[in-house]
Amino acid sequence: MKRIYLDWNATAPMRAEALAHMLERLAATGNPSSVHAEGRAARNLVETARQEVATLVNAPETAVIFTSGGTEAISTALNPRWREKGETKGLSQALIGATEHAAVLAGGRCDPKLRAYLPVDRDGRLDLQALDAALAAASGPALVAVQLANNETGVLQPIPEIARRVHEREGILICDAVQAAGKVPINITALGADALVLSSHKIGGPQGVGALVLRDEAIAPSDPLIRGGGQERGHRAGTEAVAAIAAFGMAASLARIELHETAAHLARLRDRIESDLLARLPEAVFFGQAVERLPNTSLIGLGGASAATLLMALDLSGFAVSSGSACSSGKVKRSHVLDAMGIERRLAESAIRVSLGRTTTENETIRFVEAFETAAKCLYKKATAA
């Protein structure tokens, strides 16, 4: 039986168009920093991709900095010194959402002593009063990091309102948009973020390439994370990975073109999974369901079940799902996101994430519901017998 992939938030299968584009470029020669014809051809590929990535999030193309992935982009942005309109601004503290991705929670180059973590409510939305209090208590402008969409629950944060509060205190707002890109419309100006983080492999491009997208050229981290040559307008040294960047651009362009149709398709399938599961397993809980979420993501709790055991049972049945973030060295452990939301331990330890993609079919979701019900009832039966 063909396996069914429902772990798109971990990594999206590479699009055939992006793969073909990348393979074609891998056969070409030329350093994009060279002035000869081969170098100019490589440079053209990079700049075309830069425009395609910028268009996905409605940013100036000159504000896109290519990196090796989302983690490097985050580490670049989490810098206590930013340059704004030619002047360097020192940031007194790093304020980080408690449900952020592990790369953000690590704090980048910000002094651990100057980091604070902002609480969320039971739905996973940032506590705006706590943000206000933290901004007011800071000794100067703060660096604030809040993701647009959570990678585990899919919950969307009110970024425009957060940005207003941060900028009233002359702070800098970094927004991890890795999961949101290609699933919901993104306009960096409307969001009000000073920088967005993107990752190619979440939208059907290759792994190993991402981007830090700035609101405009007038504002940027003051010190490059990777030093050396003057690539990426001095923001990130190292010869660009031309073929991977070209494929990233292709994936970004396709994601933008298909966004609304794909989002509607995914929302229908996600809602059907949840309604069908609830009809079969009334005790099931869908975290963040009361607030706006990504259209493709459902984090399912079933108190009394073990996420690790459920994962193994579903894997043996031919389904690839996750217990949450895929960035924990393959370990299955209780979600820090659910802990921050105040979810009871027994329920949090049962959480399974299902994340759909553009090729997911209705039949696949029906089969998943059946497999999940079978696995859950088998676990309950064993627990009762014990």
Residue 327 annotated as catalytic: yes
Catalytic residue among 110, 175, 327, 378: 327
Tell me how crowded residue 206 is: count the other CB atoms within 10 A of its CB. Answer: 21
Active-site residue numbers? 327
